[in-house]
Structure 1
Amino acid sequence: MNHDGAAPETATTRPEPPAPDVVAERPRRRIWRVVRNVAIGFVTLIAAIWLVLFITKGRFLKEPFERTVAHLIDRPVKVGGDFQLYFAPLDIKFLAEGLTVANPDWTTRPHLFAAKRIDTRIAPWSLLFGRRRLRWLDLTDASLDLEWNAAHTANSWTFTSDGKGKPFELPVIDRASLVSTALRYRDPRMDLLADLDFSTIRSRDARIGEAVRFTGKGRVRRTPFTLNGALLTPNDTAARGRNRLVLNALAARNRITMSGTLPSLADIEGVPLAVTARGQNAAELLGILGIVIPQTRDYRLKATLVKREAAYRFGDMTGRFGDSDIVGAFTVNNGGPRVHVDADLTTRSLDIIDVAPFIGYNPDLVASRGVAVAARAAGAAPARLLPDTSLRAEGLRAFDANVRYRVARLRSDSVPVTDLSVTVALDDGLLDLSPFKFTMARGTVASDIRFDWRRRPARVDYDFRMADTPIAQLLGGFGVAEAGTTGTIRGRLQLQGDGDTLHDSLATARGRIALVIPQGKLTTRNVQLSELDLGTFIQKMFEARLKEPVALNCGLVAFTVRGGVAAADPILIDTRKNVITGRGGFSFATEQIDLAFRADAKKFSLFSGQSPVGIGGYFSEPSLAVVTPQLLGRAGAGLGLAVVAAPPAALLAFVDPGDAKGAACGPVLAGATAKAQRTRDGKPRDDVGTGASGKAEDKPRKKFLGIF
């Protein structure tokens, strides 16, 4: 204690608190030490991993690699031989022998990808940024199998089982060597299978060279083909850029070329491709696509092909078949249960020989040796014209179609046809050509034709309706003079038959044919010959008036058809001087003709044969019998009178008293049957037959749906 008794002070002093900056530095140092230690550990770990991988070449990662990749792409992945995966030194070194990537279960091949050996180095940073880059790629004996499923809803190169994953994309490759590379493509909907072999590919500095060439073979709709082609911009292709493709194919004697620029490898969706085709028969070309048409002569076509999903559109098409031209566009759609074709086609000039296949003739035979030879080659019997060639009904249920076709002019020596148009509708074997219109000699023919291939044999309906047509233009190629001829003709053919060929469908036909001739004038000597009024004919011959018009009041040439046999019903032509009637008929089955025409004068004629003129033979070789037994009988009677009485009496056998009964033109112009025909006095006619034939069944006739 001090002198005043107070406790003495302690000698211990309290330490002063540290400065604030010293307090803050301590945690930072601890964090730094942690980071440093972690970094050192990480680097050490990486170095250890790198060292382990480098020493072991990463071979122990084989099974983890298979499991990981299989999980990512939802496909089994196997490496059958050596496997290496390590850093060398910074790039990722990858080597696999016997590498396979499986296909989905529904495919026909077990592997999407298989390679005997794949050796590559991968830039690791490119994997982090999603842009895969290979420093080099050595690929040996590799094969890639690409397939669509039957429903065309999934393919083998889209990873994930539901088909909704991302398709495989090519990486960027700096240097490559590809030896013995093969590609297989299969599309069941198109019935297409292609196997391609690529030439050895070598590249440096991400440049492959001028072209990558390939060859191959395959089958499309049972038709084998071979092809060759090239990728003309392989460097752009390898860099996932645009690709110029050229392809040449040979299939069923058809040569096809295709060229264009694709946005990427194997991507043709919406890309215009230039296509050319030429061959001996366009039916073979379209048959590859499953489309059945009659055969054609040599053809050459070019068009622009654009694919959009299941539709393949061939636009801006131009070309020729035989001696005819064609332009337009058509689309082939494989998206339904059957192939569907939609087309708009136009021909400026259609050669009649190129029409021959549509009724069963070989156009090359028609052009070189004539219709008769072509008919025999098509199965027709001697002297017949109607072909017996099947119209290929078996293929008309494999596709559907809507086709609009127009022809400006049909080149023909005898029949002037222009402005032809037809709409073709095919639905599961039911083929309609309706409307089918054309102008013939300034008259319009409108028709509807139906082929029902759902029946066996096919049921065929023909319905042709001809409006008023000038006779001079219609028969100008057969000797009818245009000057002085004012007569017209109109008519209808309505038949139904069963058969797979034109001949069979007509040989079984039933229906009616009628041609009506209204009032007019006709200039031709053949009329006088058919009337066989020798007095009038000789008088006109000596007076040099052979082209004096024959005045027609009305006329009807009609036939009722049963079982392919057409019987006159009636043949009745009323002129100013005569009434011409006819009997008989013809057969579509045998193509024989047996017709007899008789002209009776309305006025007295001193020297007139007045005996029937017969038309016989076949469609291909008709014959005209002017000197008939009736005429010979009259000549014999005249000779007898000359012997018994005096020579001038022989003329009495050829005198025509002129008692022919004029026809009532009303029933004639209405196209009525023989039973409805009347004389001008209103009495039934008994000189025009009954419309029956001994070769046809005598069944009640149905009312003819005429247009008269």
Structure 2
Amino acid sequence: METTAPAPTTSRRTRRRWRIARRIAIGVLAGLAAIWLVLFITKGRFLKRPFENIVGGLTHRHVTVGGDFQLYFAPFRIKFYAERLAIANPAWATRPNLFTAARIDTRIAPLSLVFGKRRLYWLDLTDGAVDLEWNRAHDHNSWTFGDGKGGKPLDLPRIDRATVVGTQVRYLDPRLRLLADVKLDTIRSTDARIGQAVGLSGGGQLRATPFSVVARLLSPDATVARGKNELVLRARAAGNVLDVAGTLPSIAAFEDVPLAVRARGRNLATLLEVIGVAIPNTRRYDLHAQLVQDGPDYRFTRLRGTFGASDVAGRLTISNKERLHLDSQLTTRQLDIVDAAPFIGYNPDIVAEKGAIAAAAATGAAPARIMPEAALPVATMQRFDADLKWHIDRVRSKRLPIAEIDMVLDLDHGRLALSPLTMSMARGNVAADTIFDTRQRPSAVSYDIRLAPTPLGRLLAGYGVAEAGTTGTVRGRIQLKGRGDTIHDSLASSSGRIAFVIPSGSMWTRNVQLAEIDLGVFIQKMFEQELKEPVRLNCGLVAFTVRDGIAATDPILFDTQKNVILGRGGFSFRTEALDLAFRADAKKFSLFSGQSPVGVGGYFAAPSLNVISPQLVARAGVGLGLAVVATPVAALLAFVDPGDAKAAQCGPILAGKNAAAQRDKSGKPRTDVGNGTTDKGADKPRKKFLGIF
């Protein structure tokens, strides 16, 4: 018996499914058509409140439309129209709204809201205002929606045609203490092309310094299409001009983007003061660098340029974390000595035009003083930290040949250390460690300067000493500690020791000098302007003990081939007054001898040399009297030196020891030096000098 399959039943089920699907599709299309028709007729105005609620929920922001509202398909593009639209900022922001617009009218590609990049066929925006802010912790920004930490860059849609009028943009970064408020030029684009540069202008404040800014977007078409953004910007602040140029991946993305930066102005210190960094003043500068922002770090590489008549190159990183920190490494081929003047507090422009005395006066120093009274910027120094390594090939100077300077600077919570600072000076080496600790009030300052053996001919070539024929060398050390916020105050209160040792050698001068003060030699120098042979030095010591800013000779003692030269007196860091006297005692009989002291007085800025001292004038008067009552030959007796000077023992001199440790050739203590005097006999009362002791 044969049976047949129920094929008609399967076919009926398939047809039934198709009918259901068709009816559903027709229903959906009918529903969409009905929705489209309702929206088209009503312009979707009834969706105003749902729009505010839905968008507000998605963005976690309060959204309001204060005027007319339209949202519908026209015919296949979404038309969105809103008047007085406002999207709120997060609660921590300083302004209530992230975005406001008097009117926005746009056509949106529907599928772009779901797939791919958002696309606007056209946009008409009137009187828009955008407020972009970072929070104080710099872990949230106002344009990133949601509760997650972090901040995303601005993500602009593709816009085929646009008219944007009266747009204002405000940007606030509390970490940088930066506030910018700019206005965009009117923008009109067609077929996703603007066709001309778009400009913006405005100003703001960085820390406490106002600035103005002008910028131009040179490739606005690429910007509209979310491509490359060629930006040029010029800012002016505190007399400085800053130019920035670069290509941004998006209009608000600066991080990890190399930017070409140029800064120029009258004084680089005024530019860095804007961000709370204190450096010495400079003359006019012009610097170029590449800037890359990496989180809180701003790295300036390929740095090069000039300040005054000097050049500079290297790198600089400014970090803005818990404390502002500068880390830099610089090189200079040639440093003009005038450009180095700010390192000790001088204004270099005044030094170049009027000299050091005028520059010191400009800092508040008394008339005819040379030490500056410029105070350390204590408050600023305690707000930022810095590390600097600086190499200088050569210093351009008329008098001192200085080269190969290496300086290491460390500023840590107000403690500034220049340690070590080394240089080559006149084929000798100088090493220094200087500390300004502003954490102590007033600042605790220490100076430790060491001079390695240096040829006198090279060192004093600019001061009338002939290098040829001068074989002597000098070495020394200055150790002082004081308190004060200026160089003058720290030295005026300082105590310590200054000592320079001169081993055996020779010195040949072209002009009158404080050596070999023998009357016959002096007359020879005065008329012939030079010596027939160099001064022969066995050993010499110039040393001072400093107490409370007053330096007393301890001792000044030279032993030469012919004479023993002694010095007494001292100088004051307080008033910068000099009160020194030198006397040469001959070792052998001399017919013409100036046993009377030669005085050095005046001030650091204007020393005076009193070669014909009152004592010598008195002796000349005695000679004149003898010539009148006796014979002219008797007048010469007033200038006869019996030649009884005791040669010095060079051991204590070369060790730089104080006066109490000095010995004569026979090993006996010297009684003609010590306690700031050269009077014979240590027990004799001495005359006060500098009006102090």
Please say which of residues 221-230 and 371-380 is displaced more in the overlay: 371-380
Distance 1:18-1:67 versus aligned 2 partners, 3 A rule: farther
Which aligned pairs between 1:198-597 and structure 2 lie closer than 5 A?
A: 198-335=184-321, 337-524=322-509, 530-538=515-523, 546-597=531-582
Q: Which amino acid aligns with 1:86?
A: Y
Distance 1:45-1:152 versus aligned 2 partners, 3 A rule: same
Distance 1:687-1:366 versus aligned 2 partners, 3 A rule: same
What TM-score comes out, normalization by structure 1 length? Answer: 0.93
Q: Equivalents in 2 of 1:136, 1:544: separation in Å?
A: 92
Is 2:675 aligned against 1:690? Answer: yes
Please say which of residues 129-138 and 628-637 is displaced more in the overlay: 628-637
Q: Which amino acid aligns with 2:348?
A: P
Is 2:85 aligned against 1:99? Answer: yes
Report deviation, 1:536: 4.4
Report deviation, 1:85: 1.1
Q: Equivalents in 1 of 2:409, 2:283: separation in Å?
A: 21
What TM-score comes out, normalization by structure 2 length? Answer: 0.95
Deviations 1:611-666 (A, max 9, x none): 10000011111111111122123223323433444331222221111111111111
Structure 1 contact 294–391 (Cα < 8 Å) conserved: no
Structure 2 contact 105–125 (Cα < 8 Å) conserved: yes
Structure 1 contact 203–209 (Cα < 8 Å) conserved: yes
**Equivalent position of 2:97 in the other structure:** 111
Structure 1 contact 532–611 (Cα < 8 Å) conserved: no
Deviations 1:258-288 (A, max 9, x none): 1111111111211111111111111111112
Is 2:38 aligned against 1:52? Answer: yes
Report deviation, 1:380: 1.4
Distance 1:547-1:157 versus aligned 2 partners, 3 A rule: farther
Deviations 1:529-566 (A, max 9, x none): 64321234557889997140111111000011111111
Report deviation, 1:233: 1.1
Distance 1:424-1:145 versus aligned 2 partners, 3 A rule: same
Q: 622, 626, 638: which one pairs with 1:653?
A: 638
Percent sequence identity is 62
Q: Which amino acid aligns with 1:487?
A: G
**Equivalent position of 1:4 in the other structure:** none
Q: Equivalents in 2 of 1:110, 1:313: separation in Å?
A: 34
Report deviation, 1:580: 0.5
Report deviation, 1:187: 0.8
Structure 1 contact 673–691 (Cα < 8 Å) conserved: no
Any stretches of 5+ residues in structure 1 without a counterpart? 1-15, 699-708
Please say which of residues 665-674 and 367-376 is displaced more in the overlay: 367-376
Structure 1 contact 512–560 (Cα < 8 Å) conserved: yes
Distance 1:92-1:362 versus aligned 2 partners, 3 A rule: same
Q: Which amino acid aligns with 1:152?
A: H
**Equivalent position of 2:684 in the other structure:** none
Structural RMSD (CA): 2.0
Q: Equivalents in 1 of 2:691, 2:522: separation in Å?
A: 37
**Equivalent position of 1:89 in the other structure:** 75
Corresponding residue SS for 1:490: strand
**Equivalent position of 1:706 in the other structure:** none
Structure 1 contact 104–161 (Cα < 8 Å) conserved: no
Corresponding residue SS for 2:641: coil
Corresponding residue SS for 1:436: strand
Q: Equivalents in 2 of 1:227, 1:614: separation in Å?
A: 62
Please say which of residues 133-142 and 58-67 is displaced more in the overlay: 58-67
Please say which of residues 517-526 and 144-153 is displaced more in the overlay: 517-526
Q: Which amino acid aligns with 1:391?
A: L
Corresponding residue SS for 1:460: strand
Report deviation, 1:526: 5.1
Q: Equivalents in 2 of 1:579, 1:550: separation in Å?
A: 12
Q: Which amino acid aligns with 1:621?
A: A
Distance 1:165-1:447 versus aligned 2 partners, 3 A rule: closer
Report deviation, 1:168: 4.5
Q: Equivalents in 1 of 2:184, 2:521: separation in Å?
A: 87
Q: Equivalents in 1 of 2:428, 2:521: separation in Å?
A: 33
Q: Equivalents in 2 of 1:54, 1:320: separation in Å?
A: 68
Q: Equivalents in 1 of 2:147, 2:68: separation in Å?
A: 29
Report deviation, 1:694: 6.2
Corresponding residue SS for 2:367: coil
Corresponding residue SS for 2:166: strand
Distance 1:283-1:35 versus aligned 2 partners, 3 A rule: same
Corresponding residue SS for 1:523: strand
Please say which of residues 62-71 and 408-417 is displaced more in the overlay: 62-71
Q: 603, 606, 614: which one pairs with 1:629?
A: 614
Q: Equivalents in 2 of 1:628, 1:75: separation in Å?
A: 91
Q: 64, 68, 72: which one pairs with 2:50?
A: 64
Is 2:147 aligned against 1:147? Answer: no
Report deviation, 1:446: 0.2
Corresponding residue SS for 1:387: coil
Larger Rg belongs to: 1
Corresponding residue SS for 2:155: coil
Q: Which amino acid aligns with 2:420?
A: P
Any stretches of 5+ residues in structure 2 without a counterpart? 678-687
Q: Which amino acid aligns with 2:432?
A: S
